Amino acid sequence: SRVFEIPSVLGKGHFTDALGDYCAKSNFMREEYAVRLGLSINRQDTSDVVVGSGKKVTTAGTTETLFRFKDENKSYSLKFHLLPSCLHNVILGRSFIKFTRTFSSMGNKLRRVKERVLNSVSHHFLYLGESAPRFEGLIHGVPGDALADSGAKVLVMDEAYARSRGFPIATGFQHRTKLRFADDSVAYTSGITYGVQWEFGPGGKSEQYSLDFHILKNAPANVILSDTFLFDTHAYSEYDCYLIDDDDDDDDAFFFAIDIDTTHNGHESSNQASLADMKYFELVRRGEEEDRISHLSPEEQIIAWQVENERRAEWERLRLALELSQSTPPRPSPASTSPILGQSPPTPSSGGGQQADSHPGPRKRSRWWFKLK
């Protein structure tokens, strides 16, 4: 699986990998992460969040802090809405992405957006209601709009729309996917429709793409394009003339978060779900620790890796004990099968604070989508 992250620095040197979500009207931060960083929180400034299942969740407040892109000097003072339940530490919204031209400038995108190839990563999906940016194009030869969702990990089509168009839907068990929303509620897709033709613009202006869409009942948009497709086609820069971006000042913004649950088996227990979350948060932490250690001096890196390896070993012991307690054969955790976490820690280079080529590599990430209201 491929993920796209924006290496960033918050406050006085806190390194993180942010999600750039072109469908989020505001910037967001996980509440626990803001508390961990010691940021000042305005608990009176709250908003209602409607997650993909329709349930409303109230944000925990807002915080303001300095932000800069990694390896760039310019800092920005940003306001973040705090989400009590969110797997991403930091989410950059559309206004900031547009202002900094992070996606629309090819140079900025190449410099700021980093792609990682990971194994067994949950897919996630972000969407921002009717005011969300969308591309004009042809959907199997018929004019229509498709949501431009840089936070979506999969292509999605609304079930009613798919049936109205007569698209065949493969509904077998192997074609259905378990979606997990921001509040940990779940829903199942109806199946997949294969080989739908998409073309940017009115026709004859771009290549025709044959796409496979996950079918979701009552999806928040008829057609939703994923991050991989948008970035592979350079859509934000090459086809920006077909991008409808109603960036109004309406306070009724929607920010959905949906995660594809790869533990989909129809009999998942709450303990197994907790274990899956435990593995994910550990992967996030390992990625953050790798970033932090990479900016230390060679001598400090050696000590830091000794401490981190001891912590990882203790975590693995706890994970194994939990798996054994669930009366199921222990399965290798993502932490042990991922190409990043299965490798040995890097050896500090002899010059400067950079790591050698044996850097542990990418870390696992999830993507979410919410609708903020």
Residue-wise DSSP of 307-324: HHHHHHHHHHHHHHHHHH
Has residue 140 got a pLDDT over 80?
yes
Asked which of 34-38, 106-110, 113-117, 252-256 is least confident by mean pLDDT, the reply is 252-256
CA 230, CA 133: separation in Å to the nearest integer? 13
Has residue 369 got a pLDDT over 60?
no
Higher pLDDT, 152 or 230: 230
Has residue 78 got a pLDDT over 60?
yes
Has residue 257 got a pLDDT over 50?
no
The answer to whether residues 335 and 276 touch, using CB atoms and an 8 Å cutoff, is no
Has residue 69 got a pLDDT over 90?
yes
CA 341, CA 334: separation in Å to the nearest integer? 8
CA 40, CA 51: separation in Å to the nearest integer? 26
**What would the mean pLDDT of 202-210 be, rounded to a whole number?**
87
CA 92, CA 286: separation in Å to the nearest integer? 22
**Displacement of CA 42 from its chain's centroid (Å):** 25
Please name which of 292, 280, 286 lies closest in space to residue 360, comparing C-alpha atoms. Answer: 286
- Residue 157, CA atoms < 13 Å, CB-side half-sphere: 28
Pairing outcome for strands 186-188 and 178-181: antiparallel
In order of 214, 261, 264, 279, 350, the CA distances from 268 in angstroms are 21, 10, 7, 16, 48
Buried b (16+ CB within 10 A) or exposed e, 306-345: eebeeebeebeeebeeebeeeeeeeeebbbeebebbeeeb
Has residue 82 got a pLDDT over 90?
yes
> Quick one: pLDDT band at residue 267, thresholds 50, 70, 90?
very low
> Quick one: pLDDT band at residue 85, thresholds 50, 70, 90?
confident
Which one-letter amino acid corresponds to residue 12? Answer: K
**What would the mean pLDDT of 218-224 be, rounded to a whole number?**
85
Q: Any idea which residue has 């928040």 for tokens?
A: 220
Domain(s) of CATH 2.40.70.10: residues in the chain: 2-119, 123-261
Please name which of 66, 48, 54 lies closest in space to residue 11, comparing C-alpha atoms. Answer: 66
The predicted pLDDT at position 358 comes to 38
Q: Which CATH class is domain 123-261?
A: mainly beta
Q: What is the DSSP letter of 349?
A: P
Q: What average pLDDT does the chain have? A: 76
**What would the mean pLDDT of 224-228 be, rounded to a whole number?**
88
CA 39, CA 58: separation in Å to the nearest integer? 19
Higher pLDDT, 341 or 147: 147
pTM above 0.75, yes or no: no
The predicted pLDDT at position 170 comes to 95
Higher pLDDT, 329 or 55: 55
Higher pLDDT, 83 or 351: 83
**What would the mean pLDDT of 232-243 be, rounded to a whole number?**
90
> Quick one: pLDDT band at residue 317, thresholds 50, 70, 90?
confident
The predicted pLDDT at position 151 comes to 74
Alpha helices in the chain, H assignment, sequence order: 31-36, 94-99, 106-112, 159-165, 227-232, 235-238, 270-294, 298-325, 334-337
Please name which of 6, 256, 259, 262 lies closest in space to residue 149, comparing C-alpha atoms. Answer: 256
Has residue 254 got a pLDDT over 70?
no
What CATH homologous superfamily does 2-119 map to? Acid Proteases (2.40.70.10)
Q: What is the DSSP letter of 276?
A: H
